[in-house]
């Protein structure tokens, strides 16, 4: 966390154009100082040790040492907030960007491209906001490697929507640190999980398909992007799209426009409230790591309607913002580590 003065940033990218664009963007804010640039992962590891920046912007595809290994090394020896800046929003490259989150990076955004010069001011606002928010995160040491969830081959089992009157649906809200937490939770659930799961995860525009593919490859249940009007099925987890809110009308998924003043879209509050209205006590609500307070009011609505509610604990949260806000409202029945959330969900569904 910055202790005083300006936020000190190290830019890591093998592209001169990308380095210059990011430098120009960050230079427009007087509270941010670019203290160095690195052209590959090895330079980045060395620079972090020498410069001790408050935040690193990290490319993934680089020579000598890529951004994934650099992230792993930095988080193991010199833990520093890392914002992944990736040009890959589809396919294998996108999966590697999310792997960096497993190594301890905090968030991923799309890299500005040469054609974006004319729109630099708009793009810059989002980059600067992310840098300011993430530089305040107290990151922890990550010893190398990560646990991979076991992938089961896809089957031809026909899935059916849950039944009203029992635990009928699980709703999850998450933000910063959420992709890794979601993999941890969803990756522990059995293939034949008996109810649908709907998720509001805050993520930059264009990254939902990549996140869906990354999660699906590490889970026995099927992870899908939500489709407006589609019926949610058991054994499936659905991620809300960026740019729209996801609401449940019974088991039908509906997209709605953001409300005035909504900072986070998709909004966890909106999802939770719709689930409370449709399912009341037959729902399970879960709030995972994230900055801010989105989801707290909605989880309170679920709690007051008789639903079972779970909040991630402080120690295992990347950012203990959303779970704390919910706990402070009295919206959380159970506080669990991220490793315990899946078992708690299974127990609550089985008990109903």
DSSP letter for 280, please. G
Our answer to whether residue 294 is catalytic in this structure is yes
Q: CB-based contacts of 122: which residues, under 8 Å, 6+ apart?
A: none
Residue from 88, 135, 168, 175 carrying the catalytic annotation: 175
Q: Is the bond preceding 220 in cis, omega lying within 30 degrees of 0?
A: no
Half-sphere exposure of 140 (CA within 13 A, CB side): 10
DSSP annotation of 89 reads -
Q: What is the rounded CA–CA span in Å between residue 156 and residue 152?
A: 12
Structure tokens at 91: 């396919």
Pairing relationship of beta strands 82-86 and 55-58 according to DSSP bridges: parallel
Quickly count: other Cβ atoms within 10 Å of residue 123's Cβ.
18
Active-site residue among 14, 66, 174, 202?
Answer: 202
- The answer to whether 202 is a known catalytic residue is yes
3-state secondary structure of 12: strand
Tokens of 158: 């026909």
Tokens 């090394």 — which residue?
Answer: 73
SS3 341: helix
266: its two tokens: 């998709």
Of the CA atoms within 13 Å of residue 34, those in its CB half-sphere come to: 18
Spatial distance between the Cα atoms of 275 and 159, rounded to a whole number of angstroms: 20
Q: Exactly one of 13, 294, 303, 316 is catalytic; which is it? A: 294
Question: Which amino acids are annotated catalytic?
Answer: 175, 202, 294
């Amino acid at each position: 966390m910055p202790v005083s003065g300006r936020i000190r940033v190290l830019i890591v990218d093998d592209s001169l154009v990308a380095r210059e664009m990011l430098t120009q963007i960050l230079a427009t804010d007087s509270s941010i100082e670019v203290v160095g640039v690195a052209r590959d992962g090895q330079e980045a590891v060395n620079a972090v040790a020498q410069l001790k920046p408050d935040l690193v912007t990290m490319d993934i595809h680089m020579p000598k040492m890529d951004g994934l290994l650099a992230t792993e090394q930095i988080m193991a020896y010199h833990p520093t907030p890392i914002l992944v800046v990736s040009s890959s929003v589809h396919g294998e490259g996108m999966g590697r960007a999310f792997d960096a989150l497993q190594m301890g990076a905090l968030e991923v955004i799309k890299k500005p491209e040469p054609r974006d010069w004319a729109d630099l001011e708009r793009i810059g606002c989002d980059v600067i906001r992310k840098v300011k928010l993430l530089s305040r995160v107290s990151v922890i040491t990550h010893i190398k490697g990560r646990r991979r969830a076991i992938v089961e081959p896809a089957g031809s089992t026909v899935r059916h929507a849950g039944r009203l009157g029992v635990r009928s649906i699980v709703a999850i809200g998450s933000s910063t640190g959420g992709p890794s937490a979601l993999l941890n939770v969803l990756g522990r659930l059995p293939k034949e999980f008996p109810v649908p799961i709907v998720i509001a995860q805050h993520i930059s525009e264009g990254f939902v398909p990549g996140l869906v593919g990354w999660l699906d490859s590490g889970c026995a249940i099927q992870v899908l992007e939500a489709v407006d009007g589609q019926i949610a099925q058991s054994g499936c987890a659905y991620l809300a799209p960026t740019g729209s809110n996801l609401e449940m009308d019974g088991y039908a998924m509906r997209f709605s426009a953001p409300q005035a003043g909504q900072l986070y879209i998709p909004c966890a509050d909106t999802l939770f409230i719709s689930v409370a209205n449709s399912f009341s006590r037959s729902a399970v609500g879960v709030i995972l790591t994230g900055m801010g307070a989105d989801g707290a009011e909605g989880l309170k609505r679920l709690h007051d309607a008789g639903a079972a509610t779970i909040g991630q604990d402080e120690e295992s949260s990347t950012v203990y913002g959303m779970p704390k806000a919910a706990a402070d409202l009295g919206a959380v029945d159970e506080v669990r580590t991220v490793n315990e959330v899946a078992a708690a969900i299974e127990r609550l569904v089985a008990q109903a």
